[in-house]
Amino acid sequence: MATAARKLGARNIASRREYQPYLEAAWGLKNHWYPALFSHELPDRIVKGVTIAGHEIALRRAKGKVYSLADRCAHRGVRMSKKSMCLTDEHLTCWYHGFTYGLEDGVLKTILASPDDAQIGRVKIRTYPTYERNGIIFVFVGDENYRPIPPIEADLPIRIVDDPTGNPVGYLLDDNVFVRGIHRTGNSNWRLAVENGFDPGHVLIHYDNQIVAATGMALILGAEPMDDRAIEIIDQPDGPKGIMNMYNRLESYKPIYRNDLVNIETPGKLQYYVRTSMFVPGVLLVEHWPAANWAQYEFYVPIDDRTHEYWELIVGHCNSDDDRREAEFRYKNFFEPLGLYDFNNRDLFAREAMEDFYRDMDGWSEEQLCKTDAIVVGWRKLAARFNRGIQEPPPGHGG
């Protein structure tokens, strides 16, 4: 017994070494695209502040275009998003002393009460690459001089083309797709959120959910990988890097519907196709969820080393006004209340319940993983290998 325990401990230590950079990524992965705001949250001439991987960022829209700049005035360090001051379409002005920066380059252009000051043209705050598509504003966060900036497609899930149902789900950047959702703060590290999102054993927390009860869905208690083909690594050149649960390979995954020892059985009988995958820097794709022919995207955006912004999006094909009206109805009355809130509230609860163990009790060393955690370990290795950098703690926040 002692020998077996030592061997298991040695394997765990060796495995941890393979994903050591991931263990160091408490503040997130840098030099990646992250969602910052919904488009409707940023009207013209309003400044909104977000924090992503410790970066404090001010966003403002001018003439329809979104700009992102560091959200600390170089003068006295106040966050400019605390109070919007947008005097022209070319500048962002600090509400405190009137330091005014160019939206395009972040250079100090004038000081309202000192227009001949020697600091003008010499002082600068950083800017961040920004991209807006289908109602989502994305910001590239990391090293200021990182080049070349990768296309946003490299930090999103792949476009699904191999759907066994014959109806591939919608791709987030496509034309003619319906994209709606919510985002909210989760009180756990971003890594715990990622690992909760596609863990094959965590489905238990949803077995008595309202969607399951209402549809008669045979939602499994969990899924046991049977061979190496249960997991597929996605490594597209200059494109997405991810890991996929191949639930469609019935010989490679054993779905668990019942456990006789504790007399529990999933209540529903209706079975239909669902597959999950996770992509660097932490983006989940769930195909055919919360209904057939729809997709759910989830982003786990690091805020700091203790919290993340939880983005939940519903994406589906809509080719006409009638399609959109039907999609709006389903989103308002089904997808958002029962899927994004009621169903996903359980995930939020679960990952927050892990936080103190991993933060205060050395959980990354003390965890005892089982067979269903193979894909979690696979994800850790993938993220450790394919990230573009590990985000350092901001000044004043320690190691």
Residue numbers of the chain with a pLDDT score lower than 50: 1-10
19, part of any domain: no
- Omega prior to 281 cis, within 30 of 0: yes
- Look up residue 188 and give its DSSP letter: S
Please name every residue paired with 57 in a beta bridge, in sequence order, or none if there are none.
Answer: 50, 70
pLDDT of residue 371: 87
Q: Are residues 113 and 261 located together in one domain of the fold? A: no
Q: Structurally, how many domains does the chain consist of?
A: 2
- For residue 139, which of 41, 283, 34 has the smallest C-alpha distance? 34
Phi, psi of 113 (to 5 degrees): -95, 5
Q: 246-262 burial by CB neighbour count: b if 16+ within 10 A, else e?
A: bbbbeebbebbbeeeee
Domain termination residue (choose one: 69, 96, 130):
130
| CATH assignment at residue 86 | 2.102.10.10
> What is the C-alpha to C-alpha distance for residues 361 and 379, in angstroms, rounded to an integer?
22
314, part of any domain: yes
For residue 386, how many other CB atoms are within 10 A of its CB?
Answer: 18
Q: Are residues 262 and 363 located together in one domain of the fold? A: yes
338, part of any domain: yes
Q: Are residues 157 and 306 located together in one domain of the fold? A: yes
pLDDT of residue 76: 96
Asked if 310 and 184 touch (Cβ cutoff 8 Å), the reply is: yes
Q: Are residues 247 and 355 located together in one domain of the fold? A: yes
Domain termination residue (choose one: 130, 161, 179):
130
> What is the C-alpha to C-alpha distance for residues 60 and 96, in angstroms, rounded to an integer?
17
> What is the C-alpha to C-alpha distance for residues 146 and 137, in angstroms, rounded to an integer?
20
pLDDT of residue 186: 98
Domain hosting residue 249, numbered range: 151-386
Q: Are residues 370 and 267 located together in one domain of the fold? A: yes
51, part of any domain: yes
162, part of any domain: yes
Rounded to 10 degrees, the C-alpha dihedral 236/142/88/117 comes to -150
394, part of any domain: no
Q: What confidence tens digit (pLDDT) does each residue in 365-394 have? A: 999 998 889 889 999 999 999 999 999 999
Q: Are residues 126 and 155 located together in one domain of the fold? A: no
302, part of any domain: yes
Which residues, 6 or more positions from 83, have their beta carbon under 8 angstroms from its beta carbon? Answer: 47, 95
235, part of any domain: yes
Q: Are residues 164 and 298 located together in one domain of the fold? A: yes
Domain termination residue (choose one: 130, 161, 193):
130
Q: Are residues 246 and 209 located together in one domain of the fold? A: yes
Q: Are residues 65 and 178 located together in one domain of the fold? A: no
Q: Are residues 226 and 309 located together in one domain of the fold? A: yes
Asked if 253 and 226 touch (Cβ cutoff 8 Å), the reply is: yes
pLDDT of residue 350: 96
Q: Are residues 366 and 306 located together in one domain of the fold? A: yes
Q: Are residues 100 and 230 located together in one domain of the fold? A: no
Amino acid at 165: T
Q: How far is CA 130 from CA 49, 96, 104, 367, in A?
A: 14, 26, 11, 38
| CATH assignment at residue 189 | 3.90.380.10
